[in-house]
């Protein structure tokens, strides 16, 4: 029997899973991420965990074709993590280190790219190209053409969240730039937009005025209940996202845009709003690009990192 | 001996060429484009020309592995030209028609994508991904990843000229949209910008005031001579182009941007200005993307369409 491990390294937890070569999930478990001392224990923790699992499950090293690693950071094609702020890594050769400790081939990719691959593999209808956009605390993404992730020359491929969509922004983005999509269309972005509208439209009635804890969820709930300020906020975040997708279409013109992440739980109405603005800003030649919601939720990265091993095992 | 024909169909002329399978150009010639009756004679003209050439040069049909066709229009993966305004074609099955008339496999791609492939093949140092941008009357482009053009689901891949770069634009782009890169960074774009500055800065001394025929060339020449209004115009067109490249980098993060077309004859100073604005707008992770000038001029499409045949001959 042949297997691969898939590991999704996040800032708070590490999700382990074992797959067979048909891409079927055999089991998965989660452990805490030890971020002490700039994440220097993470790779040895992973190696110890995997070797112990192989031992207890009687899996031989020869039965493992590889370990897929999804990392919340910027990853180059040769498995160097240039920056992973939540793990404390900087120019960290994670592929090399984990290979040395386990003796098993390691394949590393960015977590959003892994999620993109996972969602791609889960499509019921195959497409040639797909762009996945994850709307969470930030905005991430992955571009897939002909089944392969476009990681880019320094791992910035699919960094949809940092598309420059607004010249007049005065506040900085987390990346140091200004006017990035992430400042509007993430969970924190829509809250930021909404706070502005609440301040500006003080006289407007809104259930969101004076709300103790304003979150993306409360805003989307109020939107669905017909709240006017919430509606303006959602329209605004959707218009930037539609505009960004129109930009993406002028570059790779994908068959399909897939929206995932917590914010995408707002579902079909949000999808419709984004699609509306996409066609407003898109090049006239763009008529056939389709939009749909992601289906794997937080498991997308796990499935995608496994698929990445299966794709690259012969390299 | 095996060969392929490469044909670059433009609005005024059709450029024919014959290549051997190593990609070496054997000969080329140019004929006028007959645009009468929405371009309905173009394909039969091409078929007649090729069959006559095969006859006079004693080339057997079996010696031809294919015909590469670069078309100034939007081309789908199966060789349908959805729109080619300068030829009069609309949903025109050019691949099918030319195959029927010649009995030789035909491979069709957009002319800017063909030029991109040509420039890619001519690189002295191989790269994984490259984005070609041609700055002529309009702005076109081609995205190449791992040696292949990304044509997109409806041929809009690499339509860099229609990236939305300005919300405040009031004049329409040729595509029907507004605020497209092409409105600023093409030959006509920089003239348009310059006219605005000349009107606004009437009191400023400039050799361009009252110039009978304002062209991209006169503007770039004046810029190099230190003219202030020309400098503002070039800075403006370069800033939009740099910003657009920064957007492209967030999608495919290419190793290399290659600038071609007549406007790129402004050379190294323009390249430096574009690069300056690229790094101003680019995502923080983008440090390694390089810029250079195209080298093949108007022959790029011819070389690229031939390469496209060589790449796809086994399909």
Residues B270, B164, single domain; the answer is yes
Q: Tally C-beta pairs within 8 A across A and B.
A: 153
Res. A204: pLDDT tops 80: no
Select the residue of A153, A163, A164 nearest B253 (Cβ to Cβ): A153
Residue B203: band (very low, low, confident or very high) from pLDDT cuts 50, 70, 90: confident
**What mean pLDDT, rounded, does chain A reach?**
94
**What mean pLDDT, rounded, does chain B reach?**
94
The residues near B272 (Cβ < 8 Å, ≥ 6 apart) are none
Residue B315 has a pLDDT of 64
Summarised one tens digit per residue, pLDDT across range A81-97 is: 988 888 999 999 999 99
Select the residue of B148, B151, B253 nearest A152 (Cβ to Cβ): B253
Structural domain of A146: 123-294
Closest C-alpha among B39, B153, B99 to residue A283: B153
By the 8 A CB rule, do B285 and A154 touch? yes
B154 contact residues in A (CB cutoff 8 A): 253, 285-289
Residue A71: band (very low, low, confident or very high) from pLDDT cuts 50, 70, 90: very high
Res. A315: pLDDT tops 70: no
Nearest CA in chain A to B248: A251
Instruction: Say if the Cβ atoms of A253 and B286 lie within 8 Å.
Output: no
Which percentage of chain A shows pLDDT scores above 70?
100
Select the residue of A160, A162, A243 nearest B164 (Cβ to Cβ): A243
Select the residue of B77, B167, B285 nearest A154 (Cβ to Cβ): B285
Asked whether residue B156 is assigned to any structural domain, the reply reads yes
Select the residue of A148, A156, A287 nearest B154 (Cβ to Cβ): A287
By the 8 A CB rule, do B132 and B109 touch? no
Residues A174, A265, single domain; the answer is yes
Q: Residue A27 CB: number of other CB atoms within 10 A?
A: 10
Residues A30, A171, single domain; the answer is no
Summarised one tens digit per residue, pLDDT across range A165-179 is: 999 999 999 888 999
A172 contact residues in B (CB cutoff 8 A): none
Residues A89, A136, single domain; the answer is no
Summarised one tens digit per residue, pLDDT across range A102-140 is: 999 999 999 999 999 999 999 999 999 999 999 999 999
Res. B143: pLDDT tops 70: yes
Whether complex ipTM tops 0.90? yes
Residues B71, B171, single domain; the answer is no
Residue A147: band (very low, low, confident or very high) from pLDDT cuts 50, 70, 90: very high
Residue B140: band (very low, low, confident or very high) from pLDDT cuts 50, 70, 90: very high
Residue A157 has a pLDDT of 95
Shortest CA gap A294–chain B (Å): 19
Asked whether residue B175 is assigned to any structural domain, the reply reads yes
Nearest CA in chain A to B159: A250
Residue A153 has a pLDDT of 94
**Can you read off the two tokens belonging to residue B189?**
């774009």
Instruction: Say if the Cβ atoms of B285 and A250 lie within 8 Å.
Output: no
Q: Which residues pair with A252 in a beta bridge?
A: none
CA angle B44, B47, B51 (to 5 degrees): 145
A239 contact residues in B (CB cutoff 8 A): none
Instruction: Say if the Cβ atoms of B150 and A155 lie within 8 Å.
Output: no
Residues B139, B82, single domain; the answer is no
Residue B186 has a pLDDT of 96
Residues B159, B290, single domain; the answer is yes
Q: How far apart are CA A149 and CA A75, in angstroms?
A: 12
Asked whether residue B118 is assigned to any structural domain, the reply reads no
The 10 Å CB-count burial string (b at 16+, else e) for B276-300 is ebbeebbbebbeebebeebebeebb
Residues A147, A278, single domain; the answer is yes
Residues B287, B305, single domain; the answer is no
- The total domain count for chain B is 2
A287 contact residues in B (CB cutoff 8 A): 154
Shortest CA gap A181–chain B (Å): 11
Instruction: Say if the Cβ atoms of B152 and A284 lie within 8 Å.
Output: no
B175 contact residues in A (CB cutoff 8 A): 283-285
Residue B83 has a pLDDT of 87
By the 8 A CB rule, do B44 and B101 touch? yes
Residue B76: band (very low, low, confident or very high) from pLDDT cuts 50, 70, 90: confident
Instruction: Say if the Cβ atoms of B252 and A286 lie within 8 Å.
Output: no
A180 contact residues in B (CB cutoff 8 A): 283
Strand order, beta sheet including B148-149: B148-149, B139-145, B129-135, B256-260, B290-293
Q: What is the mean pLDDT of residues A3-20?
A: 95
Instruction: Say if the Cβ atoms of B253 and A283 lie within 8 Å.
Output: no
Q: What is the mean pLDDT of residues B29-56?
A: 96
Q: What is the mean pLDDT of residues B268-286?
A: 95
Instruction: Say if the Cβ atoms of B150 and A253 lie within 8 Å.
Output: yes
Select the residue of A129, A146, A154 nearest B153 (Cβ to Cβ): A129
Residues A39, A54, single domain; the answer is yes
Q: Residue A62 CB: number of other CB atoms within 10 A?
A: 8
Residues B159, B222, single domain; the answer is yes
Res. B313: pLDDT tops 90: no
Nearest CA in chain A to B73: A285
Instruction: Say if the Cβ atoms of A153 and B128 lie within 8 Å.
Output: yes
For the CA atoms of A104, A108, A112, A115, the dihedral, rounded to the nearest 10 degrees, stands at -30
Residue B169: band (very low, low, confident or very high) from pLDDT cuts 50, 70, 90: very high
* Residue A118 host element (H or E): helix A111-121
Q: Residue B26 is part of a domain; what is its CATH number?
A: 3.30.420.40
Res. A189: pLDDT tops 90: yes
Residues B230, B262, single domain; the answer is yes
By the 8 A CB rule, do B61 and B50 touch? no
A90 contact residues in B (CB cutoff 8 A): none
């Amino acid at each position: 029997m042949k297997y691969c491990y898939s590991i999704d390294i996040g800032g708070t937890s590490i999700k382990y899973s074992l797959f067979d070569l048909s891409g079927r999930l055999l089991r998965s478990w989660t452990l805490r991420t030890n971020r002490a001392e700039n994440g220097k224990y993470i790779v040895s923790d992973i190696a110890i965990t995997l070797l112990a699992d192989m031992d207890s499950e009687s899996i031989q090293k020869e039965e493992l074709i590889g370990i897929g690693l999804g990392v919340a950071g910027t990853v180059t094609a040769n498995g160097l993590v240039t920056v992973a702020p939540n793990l404390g890594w900087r120019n960290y050769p994670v592929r090399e280190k984990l290979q040395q400790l386990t003796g098993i081939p390691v394949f590393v990719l960015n977590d959003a790219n892994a999620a993109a691959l996972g969602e791609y593999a889960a499509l019921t209808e195959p497409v040639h190209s797909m762009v996945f956009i994850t709307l969470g605390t930030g905005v991430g993404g992955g571009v897939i053409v002909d089944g392969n992730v476009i990681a880019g020359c320094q791992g910035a491929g699919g960094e949809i969240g940092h598309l420059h969509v607004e010249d007049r922004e005065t506040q900085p983005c987390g990346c140091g730039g200004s006017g990035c999509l992430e400042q509007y269309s993430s969970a924190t972005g829509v809250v930021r937009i909404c706070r502005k509208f609440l301040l500006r439209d003080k006289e407007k009635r809104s259930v969101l005025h004076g709300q103790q804890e304003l979150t993306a969820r409360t805003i989307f709930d109020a939107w669905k209940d017909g709240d006017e300020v919430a509606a303006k906020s959602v329209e605004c975040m959707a218009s930037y996202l539609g505009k960004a997708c129109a930009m993406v279409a002028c570059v790779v013109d994908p068959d399909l845009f897939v929206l995932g992440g917590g914010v995408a739980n707002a579902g079909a109405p949000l999808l419709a709003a984004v699609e509306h603005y996409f066609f407003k800003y898109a090049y006239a030649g763009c008529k056939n690009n389709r939009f749909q919601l992601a289906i794997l939720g937080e498991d997308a990265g796990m499935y995608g990192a496994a698929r990445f091993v299966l794709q690259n095992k012969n390299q």
